[in-house]
Amino acid sequence: MEADLPTSTEEGEPAQAKRPAAVATVPFGAANATERAEPSLLSQIGHARLADFGCLHCAGDDVRPWGKASGKPRYRCVTCRKTFNPLTGTPLAGLHYPERWRDQAQALIDGETIAKAAKRCGVDYTTAFRWRHRFLMALARDKPARLSGIVEADETFILESFKGKRRGLPRAARKRGGKAGKRGLSAEQVPVMVARDRTGATIDAVLPRLDAASIAVAMGKAITGSAELCCDGGTAIKAFARRAKLRFHVLPAPGSPLPEEPDLHINNVNAYHGRLKEWLRRFHGVATANLPNYLGWRRTIEAFGTASDPKAWVMGAAGLGPYQQASR
């Protein structure tokens, strides 16, 4: 995912023009305060991961503190005798400058472009791109295990994009996102399925094709027989519901529930589609290869809600996202 580095910023300017001249131009706080806070945050990540997984090598329960290395706490498993730190096995492993990760998290909260994130964090444009997708990798996988009660499901379509790809394009390149060559739905549109229950828990997936088999792979484990599915009557979603033996309701007029059944509608999931697409516009096109990360990004913004803060996002990037934290 990180191989396809963009050749220009989202604003359409060359990447070189956006690289900062100085390092750490906008620190999250005073340098000495950050140095004191970061080990504490890493320790919290370590303790949470130990509570969830035990030893990160053998899942053993007998793990002891084992000093520090490169400013990070280390632990040693008595069973397998291997050592590890709080970030071992996470997308953040191996990344430098942990004192700037809170700034990167704030850039994600604010939905900043890569160029603005690079300036905020005081790093190179390509580093900011790499950090963005390292932070989003774990969040893209952080989804609720189950949707319960009334579940709304509907598909939406996002324009296919090869943004960042320098050669081998199957068509002429578009500028700043561009638009489809054909009106309506076509092979240029990528199907995205979204399902939400009435608590706001959300599952989404980029589908290889819009059919029952693809929906089952993406959501079959989360939407089970105890759920009551509301959909718009599309062929694929109805076939999925029948195969999964779900109780489902086809809405004759989406947005206008029947007077005798006002709770059966897909207004929530359709509103989510609208918020997602409006939020994506700022990036002037998202590479289809990176689209799952952006779906996870938007899903995390909504899951954290008013509790969103840089510390929570750093923990989420280490595999302790909002749904993982809620299950602890």
Whether 7 is in a domain gets the answer no
Whether 258 is in a domain gets the answer yes
Average pLDDT over residues 4-13: 44
Domain count, the chain: 2
Whether 89 is in a domain gets the answer yes
The answer to whether residues 156 and 277 belong to one domain is yes
Q: Of 85, 106, 141, which residue constitutes the final position of a domain?
A: 141
CB 284 within 8 A of CB 292: no
The answer to whether residues 136 and 158 belong to one domain is no
User: CA angle at residue 37 from 33 to 38, to 5 degrees?
Assistant: 120
Nearest CA to 85 out of 95, 97, 99, 75 is that of 75
Q: Of 116, 141, 166, which residue constitutes the final position of a domain?
A: 141
- Which carries the bigger pLDDT value, residue 9 or residue 143? 143
The answer to whether residues 130 and 21 belong to one domain is yes
Pairing of strands 72-77, 247-250: unpaired
| Dist. CA 115–CA 112, nearest whole Å | 8
Q: What is the pLDDT of residue 66?
A: 95
| Dist. CA 261–CA 29, nearest whole Å | 53
The answer to whether residues 91 and 128 belong to one domain is yes
| Dist. CA 81–CA 37, nearest whole Å | 29
Average pLDDT over residues 81-90: 95
Average pLDDT over residues 78-104: 95
Nearest CA to 73 out of 53, 48, 52, 91 is that of 48
Q: Is the pLDDT of residue 180 over 70?
A: no
Pick from 99-103, 169-173, 221-225, 238-242: least confident:
169-173
Whether 63 is in a domain gets the answer yes
Amino acid at 133: H
Q: What is the reported pTM?
A: 0.82
Query: Judging by beta carbons within 10 Å of its beta carbon (0-12, 13-18, 19+), is residue 136 exposed, middle or buried?
Result: buried
Sign of CA dihedral 220, 223, 227, 230: negative
Q: Of 268, 286, 304, which residue constitutes the final position of a domain?
A: 286
Sign of CA dihedral 143, 146, 151, 154: positive
pLDDT tens, residue by residue, 51-73: 989 999 999 999 999 999 988 99
Average pLDDT over residues 11-22: 37
Q: What is the pLDDT of residue 82?
A: 96
- Which carries the bigger pLDDT value, residue 27 or residue 141? 141
Nearest CA to 93 out of 47, 45, 126 is that of 45
Supply the CATH number for residue 281's domain: 3.30.420
The answer to whether residues 208 and 268 belong to one domain is yes
Q: What is the pLDDT of residue 261?
A: 87
The answer to whether residues 116 and 201 belong to one domain is no
Q: What is the pLDDT of residue 181?
A: 62
Strand ranges inside the chain, DSSP E = 63-69, 72-77, 83-84, 150-159, 189-197, 202-206, 228-231, 247-250
Pairing of strands 189-197, 202-206: antiparallel
- Which carries the bigger pLDDT value, residue 30 or residue 275? 275
Whether 325 is in a domain gets the answer no
Q: If you ran DSSP here, which 8-state letter would residue 167 be given?
A: S
Q: Is the pLDDT of residue 291 over 60?
A: yes
Confidence of residue 326 (pLDDT cuts 50, 70, 90): low
Average pLDDT over residues 296-310: 93
The answer to whether residues 209 and 99 belong to one domain is no
Average pLDDT over residues 103-114: 96
The answer to whether residues 168 and 267 belong to one domain is yes
| Dist. CA 92–CA 114, nearest whole Å | 18
The answer to whether residues 158 and 269 belong to one domain is yes
Helix (H) or strand (E) holding 176: none
Q: Domain limits at 208?
A: 150-286
The answer to whether residues 68 and 88 belong to one domain is yes
Whether 308 is in a domain gets the answer no
pLDDT tens, residue by residue, 214-272: 999 999 999 988 899 999 989 999 999 999 999 999 987 777 777 888 899 999 999 99
Whether 137 is in a domain gets the answer yes
The answer to whether residues 154 and 45 belong to one domain is no
| Percent above pLDDT 90 for the chain | 67
Q: Whole-number mean pLDDT of the chain? A: 85
Q: What is the pLDDT of residue 324?
A: 77
Residue 271 CA: distances (Å) to CA of 45, 238, 274: 34, 21, 5
Any residues with CB less than 8 A from the CB of 88 and at least 6 apart, and which?
56
The answer to whether residues 133 and 159 belong to one domain is no
Whether 324 is in a domain gets the answer no
Confidence of residue 327 (pLDDT cuts 50, 70, 90): low
- Which carries the bigger pLDDT value, residue 180 or residue 320? 320
